[in-house]
Amino acid sequence: MGVHLLGTKIGMTQIFTSEGGCIPVTVLKAGPCMITQIKTLDSDGYSAIQLGYSQVSTHLLTKSQLGHLNKSNAPALKYLREYKTSESTMFQLGQILKVDHIKIGDQVKIQGNTIGKGFSGYQKRHHFSRGPMSHGCKNHRQPGSIGAGTTPGRVFPGKKMAGRLGGNKTTIKNLLVVDINTDHNLMLVKGSVPGKPGTILSIQSS
């Protein structure tokens, strides 16, 4: 059974194996998450569970949000995320899911928003090649032609041009769990994950 968790990216570091090899790892705080709602085929038409993460002060949530959380006797949780599952009957309302549901050596799928880099040009955003840098050339980092003239007389939708870069939802699959600290709800995964430190991540074990 796959386990879903919400977590926070702490940062990156490196660990060394007994053979002296260096492994780049990302430190994640995974959970604890509370099940705030269970959806079934009879009540909602599909099976899913809703997880809540990161307790905050009650004045930071609206009355409707607090009313929804009060149905499961949950505290003021800032983030709610729903996951479809065919085994919703195995969960209980108010159940706490922690990082101890994941074992060392498991492979996880992590989803989050990438770092936003603002408005970027052609070379940085789409890896276009630049123009000649020799004396007399006036096309160094310019876009060049973006379409024909009279026919069709317009720029086709989807043309790769300068624009906002980053800030997209990205999923990294098959990340190896290197180490787990159940006392502090920490998890080390091999490689990098989307976002900067503090980013909210969705963690799913296979």
Domain ranges of the chain: 4-129+159-205
Per-residue pLDDT of the chain (206 residues; tens, 9 = 90+): 567 889 899 999 998 988 888 989 999 998 788 888 888 888 878 888 888 888 888 888 888 888 888 888 888 888 888 888 877 677 888 788 888 888 888 889 999 999 999 999 999 999 999 889 998 888 888 888 888 888 888 999 999 999 999 989 999 999 999 988 888 889 999 989 999 999 999 988 87
Q: Render pLDDT for 107-118 as a digit per residue (tens, 0 to 9).
A: 899 999 999 999
Give the bridge partners for 112, in sequence order.
170
Q: Render pLDDT for 127-171 as a digit per residue (tens, 0 to 9).
A: 999 889 998 888 888 888 888 888 888 999 999 999 999 989 999
Q: Does domain 4-129+159-205 have CATH number 2.40.30.10?
A: yes
Residue 134: half-sphere exposure toward Cβ, Cα within 13 Å: 1
E strands present in the chain:
4-16, 22-30, 33-39, 48-55, 77-84, 96-97, 107-113, 118-120, 163-165, 169-181, 186-190, 200-205
Dist CA 38 CA 88 (whole Å): 7
Peptide bond into 32 cis (omega under 30): yes
